[in-house]
């Protein structure tokens, strides 16, 4: 299935937020989404993040949510925060289209790598990333501190 892949606009943030909630439900943590659409709008206006969306018949059915960061060891890096395709459209090739478009954004921004996390039990995602020759880092633990 061929989707239209385009850069998101502020008007797309509600659909993007809905996909984030869908991802949180899939990841068994629907209660963990506390950022509001207002939070998204403010961060979008501040150029904190960018999103590519996939559309079918003018409906947003998938997205990659990313931002630039920096690796002190490697240089410019694109960080993939969220990657989700609506459940009805999974296994249709839309995820591959979004992933390829994300890598192209990284190339255009002259990033040396794209980095992300995947849950260790998410076998469909792991299989997808392996198919795309992703490097899986071992020995690293994810840490965070709420402010």
Please give the positions annotated as active site: 129
The HSE-up count of residue 109 (CA atoms within 13 Å, CB side) is 21
Structure tokens at 128: 């997808």
- CA–CA distance, 36 with 43 (Å, rounded to integer): 11
In this structure, the dihedral spanned by the alpha carbons of residues 86, 89, 94 and 96, taken in order and rounded to 10 degrees, is 80
Contacts of 74 (CB under 8 A, 6+ apart): 112, 113
- 92 in Cβ contact with 125 (< 8 Å): no
The HSE-up count of residue 7 (CA atoms within 13 Å, CB side) is 7
The HSE-up count of residue 113 (CA atoms within 13 Å, CB side) is 11
């Amino acid at each position: 299935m061929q989707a239209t892949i385009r850069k998101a606009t502020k008007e797309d943030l509600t659909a993007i937020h809905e996909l984030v909630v869908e991802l949180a439900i899939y990841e068994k943590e629907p209660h963990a989404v506390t950022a509001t659409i207002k939070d998204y709008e403010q961060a979008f206006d501040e150029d904190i993040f960018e999103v590519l969306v996939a559309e079918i018949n003018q409906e947003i059915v998938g997205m990659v949510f990313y931002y630039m960061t920096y690796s002190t060891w490697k240089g410019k890096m694109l960080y993939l925060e969220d990657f989700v395709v609506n459940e009805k459209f999974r296994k249709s090739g839309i995820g591959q289209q979004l992933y390829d478009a994300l890598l192209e954004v990284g190339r255009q921004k002259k990033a040396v790598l794209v980095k992300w996390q995947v849950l260790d039990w998410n076998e469909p995602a792991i299989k997808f990333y392996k198919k795309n020759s992703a490097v899986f880092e071992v020995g690293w633990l994810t840490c965070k501190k709420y402010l």
